[in-house]
Chains A and B, each alone.
Chain A
Amino acid sequence: MSQTQNVLSMKGITRSFPGVIALEGVDFALRKGEIHALMGENGAGKSTLIKVLTGVEQPDSGTIELDGQLVQVRSPQHSHSLGISAVYQEVNLCTNISVAENIMLGHEPRRFGSIDWRKMNALARQALTKLDIDIDVTQPLGNYSLAIQQMVAITRSLEISNARILILDEPTSSLDVNESKQLFDVMMKLKDAGIGIVFITHFLDQVYRVADRITVLRNGKLVGTYDVSSLPRIDLVAKMLGRSFTDLDAMSKVKSQGQQAQGTTRVVEAKGLGLKGSLEPIDVSIEAGEVVGIAGLLGSGRTELANLLFGIDAPDSGSLTIKGQAVSRFSPSESLQHGIALCPEDRKAEGIVADLTIRENIILALQARYGWFKFLDTSTQYKIAQEYIELLGIVTPSADQLIKNLSGGNQQKVILARWLVTHPQLLILDEPTRGIDVGAKAEIQKLVLQLAAEGKSIVFISSELEEVLRISHRIIVMRDHKKAAEYSGDANDQVIMHAMAGEV
C-alpha cells in the first residue's frame, strides 16, 4: 500500500567509475507531499544519486520508478519532462535579465513571433504568487538577494517541468536565518501541493525542522531511512560518521592538557577594529598557545573578522597590534611579514591555484614572503614539499601532481601546509574542515591542538559547533557582524547556540 504513495522509488542503484564505487545497491524512496532529507558526509554518494535521478549519469544497475511506472532517465531534458526538477546551491540563473525572463525564458509566451512581455510578466507573477512571493518581476534578477534568486530558481524549475519531484541541493548554505525561513515556507507550500522534495543539507537543525524522513548514505552504501521523529540527533550523527563518540571525546582530553601549557604572551590585540558595512568595532585579544574558536551563523561576520585580521580588508576604525607591533598597512603580504596566516573559506577560489603542482602550492606563501629575488631553489622546494606531505599525510603519488587532481581533503591539507611552512605566529583557519571526510577532519583538529601546544595562536572558524567546542580554549560568538559574547572553551553548547541565535 505504501508503494502507491511513493512518487519515486529507486532500487538497487549502483554506479561506479574507474577506481571508485560511487553508489552500491542504494534504495531511495520518496513519497508524495513529503520533505525527505538526504544526508551523508562528503563522498557518501549523495551527488551521484542525484545525478542518476536527473539523468546526468546512467546507473550501472538498478531501477527507477515514477508513480509506480518503470522509467529510464536519459538526460536532464528528459528528467524535466518526467517531472523531476533540481535546484542547486549555485543559483543557475542569469542575473542580468529580469526575474520574469529567468522564470519563463525557453517557454515564453509569444505574439506574432516576438516575446509577449506583458503576458510573460503576468505569468511569472502568477507562478511566484503560488509560492507566496511578491516581487517586481521586471527587475533584473541581480537586484535581488541570493535567497530570492534561489526561490526564482525553484519557481522556474517548477514552471518548466510540471514537477512532481523537487530536488534541493544545499539550498541554505548561503542564506541567513530569515532567508532560510522564507525558503522553508516555500517548501511547506510545495509539500502541501503534493510535491515530493529531496532536501540535501548538512545543517542538522534544518533537517529536524522541516524534514519528514531522513536517508543516510555512507561510502556509497545506504545506511538506512528513518522517520525524523524517531531518530535522535546523536544517533543521526553517529550513523553519518560511522563512529562512536569515544574518538571525539579523546580530543577534548588533548585540549585540556594543552590548556595548562598556555603562556601569557599576548600575540594579537585588536581594539575597536571595524569596517563599515562589514564588521562592527570589535575587541579581540589572543595569547600564545591559545585556540580561539569563532562560532556564529553564516553571515554573522566571522569571515569578515578573519579578513580584517589578515589584512585582506583594511579597517576604518580601531587598531591592530601583533606581538607588540602596530599594523599600519593592511594587505596579505604585510600580514605575512608580521607572521599571520589565513586559510581562506573558499578553497577553490581563494586557496588553491588549481593548475600548479602541490610543491608550488605549498611554497607559494613562503616564497611570497621572501619576495621576488630571494628565490627558493627547486631542490629546497622539493624538500619542503616532501616534509609537509609526510607531516600532514597528504595522499599523492608525487609532489608534482597538479593540486586540482587531489581530493578536497588533501587540497585543504596542502593549503594548510602552505601556511604552516611560513611558521606563523597566528594561524587563522576559516572553515578548514568544510567538505572534508571525517578522517581528515579529525587529523586537522589534532594538528590544531598540536600547534597550540607548540606555542602558536590559532583562530578557528567553523559552522560546526561540535568542532569549535572540541578544540577551543576560548570561544567568541559572532552575531550580526559584531561580537555577541565570549566564553571559555568548556562552555555548554546550549549557551553558545543561544548566543548565536541572539537569545542571551
Chain B
Amino acid sequence: MKNSLFKRIRESALFWPITALAIILLYDAIFVPGFFKIGILDGHLYGNLIDVINDGAPLMLVAIGMTLVIATGGVDLSVGAVIAISASIGAVLINPAFGNALISNDILTKDATNTALPIIILADLAAGTLCGLWNGFLVSRAKIQPMVATLILMVAGRGIAQLFTNGQIMTIYYTPYFYFGNGFILGLPVSIFIVATVFLLAWIGVHKTSIGLFIASVGLNSKSSYYSGINEKNIKLLAYTFCGFCGSIAGLILSSYVHSADANNIGLYYELDAILSVVIGGTLMSGGRFSLFASVIGALIIWTFTITMYTIGIPANALLAAKAVLVLLVILLYSDYTRRSLSKFFKLKGTRHGATN
C-alpha cells in the first residue's frame, strides 16, 4: 500500500522539480542563517522568501505561457522583447514624449499620467497579445519554424520598443503604476496574486476544456492530431498568443517594479530563463505532456537559487557562473542516463512521468 503511494509520488510529474526546490531550501535552512526570516514592515510581510515570490513573479508568468508553447513542440524566443514592448508602451502612455520635443523636467517627473491607468493596462495587454498572435500566425499559418519565427520578433521587438521610447530609458513617476510590482494585498505582494490569477485561468483552460489534451496531442504528433480532426493550427495560435499575453503582464509588473522602461535591458534573457523553468519542470522541449505547476516551480527554483546566491554574498560577478552550475545540475538530473540509473535503483517500471497533469 505504502509502496504504491510512494511509487505514485515518484512517478508524478512534480516529483523532481519539488525535490530540487526542496534541496535548495534545505541548503538555505542549514547554511544560510536567517534566510527564512519573515518580518512585518509597514503592514506587509518582507524577507527573502517574499523577495523570491515578488522578483520571481514575472518569470513565473512567462514560464506559464512558455509551457504551452513548448508543449506544442515550439519555443518562443521573443518573450524578452514582448516584455520590453509592453513596458515601453506603459511608460510612453504615461508620459508621451515623442520626437525631440523639449519637455520640462517638471512635466517629466510629475506624479501624474496622461492616460488613465486602465487604458494603459489594456494597451499593454493588447500589445503583448498582438505580438503573440503575430508569432502564432508565423508558426501556424506561414509554417515557419518556431525558433526562427520568434527570433524575428526577438531581434526586431526591442527595436520596436525603442521606437516608442525614442531610444531613451524612460523613468516612471506615476505612483499608482508602482502598485503592480510593489504593492501588497493581505501582506503579500500584488504580483503573486496576479500570477495566481493567470495560473488559475490557464489551469482551467487546460484541465476543464479539451485544450490541454489537444496541446499535448499536437506536440506529440501534429499530423495524427490533424487527422483526428483537431484544429492544430488554432491550438498553436492559442499557445503563442497566450504566451504573448503572459509576457505583456510580466512587462507591466517588471516596469512597475523598477519604475522604468529600458527597452534595451528590461526582460533581458527572460526567454532563456523561461525555457529553463519549463525544462526544469519536466516538460520536454520536443513537446507533449506538460505541467503548468511544475514550470512555476521551475521558475521558483531559479529565483530561490538567485536570492540564495545574493544572500550568501556571492559577488554579482559570479552569479552568472553559478547559474551555469545550476543548469548543469538540471541537465545531469534530467538526463536519460541519470533517470535510467535511478530507475534501476528504485526499480521503476512502465510509464515515465506517466501521470497526466
Q: Do A and B share a direct contact in the complex (Cβ within 8 angstroms)?
A: yes
Measured between beta carbons, the chain B residues less than 8 angstroms from A333 are 229-231
Interface residues of A in 260-278 (CB under 8 A from B): none
With known contacts A372-B211, A372-B214, A375-B208, A355–B288 Cβ distance under 8 A: yes
Interchain CA distance A336-B210 in the complex, whole Å:
16
Smallest CB-CB separation from A334: which chain B residue?
Answer: B229
Measured between beta carbons, the chain A residues less than 8 angstroms from B228 are 332, 364-365, 368, 418
With known contacts A356-B217, A356-B220, A367–B210 Cβ distance under 8 A: yes
Residue from the list A351, A354, A402 in contact with B227, Cβ < 8 A: A351
Interchain CA distance A375-B213 in the complex, whole Å:
10
- The interface bits of chain B over 337-357 (1 if a CB of A lies within 8 angstroms of the residue's CB, else 0) are 000000000000001001010
From DSSP, what is the main secondary structure of chain A's interface residues? mixed
Interchain CA distance A415-B266 in the complex, whole Å:
49
Smallest CB-CB separation from A341: which chain B residue?
Answer: B229
- The interface bits of chain B over 217-228 (1 if a CB of A lies within 8 angstroms of the residue's CB, else 0) are 100110111111
Measured between beta carbons, the chain A residues less than 8 angstroms from B209 are 372-373, 375
Q: Is the CB of A354 within 8 A of B211?
A: no
Count of A-B contacts with CB under 8 A? Answer: 75
Measured between beta carbons, the chain B residues less than 8 angstroms from A336 are 229
Q: Is the CB of A352 within 8 A of B224?
A: yes
Q: Is the CB of B221 within 8 A of A352?
A: yes
Interchain CA distance A365-B211 in the complex, whole Å:
13
Residue of B220, B225, B230, B356 with most chain A CB atoms under a 10 A cut-off: B230
Residue from the list A312, A371, A400, A418 in contact with B210, Cβ < 8 A: A371
Interface residues of A in 324-371 (CB under 8 A from B): 331-333, 335-336, 342, 344, 349-357, 360, 364-365, 367-371
Interface residues of A in 349-405 (CB under 8 A from B): 349-357, 360, 364-365, 367-376, 400, 402
Interchain CA distance A333-B227 in the complex, whole Å:
8
Smallest CB-CB separation from B205: which chain A residue?
Answer: A372
Tier of interface size on chain A: 20 to 34
Measured between beta carbons, the chain A residues less than 8 angstroms from B230 are 333, 364, 368
Is B289's CB within 8 Å of the partner chain A? yes
Is B216's CB within 8 Å of the partner chain A? yes
CB distance from B179 to the nearest CB of A (A): 34
Measured between beta carbons, the chain A residues less than 8 angstroms from B223 are 349-350
Interchain CA distance A428-B73 in the complex, whole Å:
30
Known A371-B210, A372-B209, A375-B208; further 15 A-B contacts with Cβ < 8 A: A331-B231, A336-B229, A355-B288, A355-B289, A356-B220, A360-B217, A364-B228, A365-B228, A367-B213, A368-B210, A368-B228, A368-B230, A368-B231, A372-B214, A400-B351
List 17 interface pairs A-B (beta carbons < 8 Å), by A numbering: A312-B226, A332-B226, A332-B229, A335-B229, A350-B224, A350-B227, A353-B225, A355-B220, A356-B216, A356-B217, A357-B356, A365-B229, A367-B210, A369-B229, A372-B209, A373-B210, A376-B210
Residues of B within 8 A of A (CB): 208-211, 213-214, 216-217, 220-221, 223-231, 288-289, 351, 354, 356
